[in-house]
Amino acid sequence: MSHDTHAVNGRQPTTEAAETADGRLAELAEVQRHTVELLSRLDRQPSNVRVQAGDITLDITWDAAPAAPTAEGPLAPPTATTETTETGEPAAAADYLTSPGVGTFYHAPEPGAEPFVSVGTVVQPGQQVGIIEAMKLMIPVEADRAGRIAEVLKPNGEPVEFAEPLFALEAEDTGETEET
């Protein structure tokens, strides 16, 4: 790989070398961010990923095709139709925070640390609730809506699939009442 640098009297200026290194690091960070985003959107973990920034190359390969998911398969959220809300209506499948990708799910930022959330924690949209490790990349798992963690469904350090439920979420009572 060649770099576009300009030598002065056969020597690279120190500040230019530092700027070039900083620029490459920024490019690599950007490529990594986009790669993590892409991997988090895949429905299953690939067996091989190759990314090349110059002249853009991206190869993703999978081993054998997975079996089609069934209603009881790992990609289906727990059935909520048998559960009811306080008003007697069936609970919705949207009562779960689900995995944004494929990998290993962790409850805490590092071994021995306090988990991001636990039963009873009130979460807001965008709040980090876990981490998924996929191919040595750490992908934050964030709440997509507000609520209270009712149950932790996925044990720490266990593999997860795309859209697999991680936490049961109940609506947070705001204490406000509607006047009619």
The mean per-residue pLDDT over the stretch 98-123 comes to 94
The mean per-residue pLDDT over the stretch 8-21 comes to: 60
Q: Is residue 57 over pLDDT 50?
A: yes
The dihedrals phi and psi of 18, each to the nearest 5 degrees, come to -65, -40
Query: Which pTM was predicted?
Result: 0.49
- Res 14: pLDDT: 60
- d(CA 131, CA 110) in angstroms, rounded, equals 10
Q: How many CB atoms lie within 10 A of CB 172?
A: 13
CA–CA distance, 39 with 47 (Å, rounded to integer)? 12
Whether residue 52 has pLDDT greater than 90? no
pLDDT of 118 reads 95
Give me the pLDDT at residue 46, please: 72
Between 96 and 51, whose confidence is greater?
96
Contact (CB, 8 A) for 81 and 70:
no
Of the candidate ranges 15-29, 69-83, 89-103, the one whose mean pLDDT is the lowest? 69-83
What pLDDT, on the 0 to 100 scale, is given for residue 16?
67
CB 99 within 8 A of CB 161: yes
> Looking up tokens 């266990």, which residue turns up?
158
How confident is residue 113, by pLDDT bands cut at 50, 70 and 90?
A: very high
**Residues in Cβ contact with 34 at an 8 Å cutoff, skipping those fewer than 6 apart:** none
Average pLDDT, the chain: 74
Q: What is the arithmetic mean of pLDDT over 154-165?
A: 93
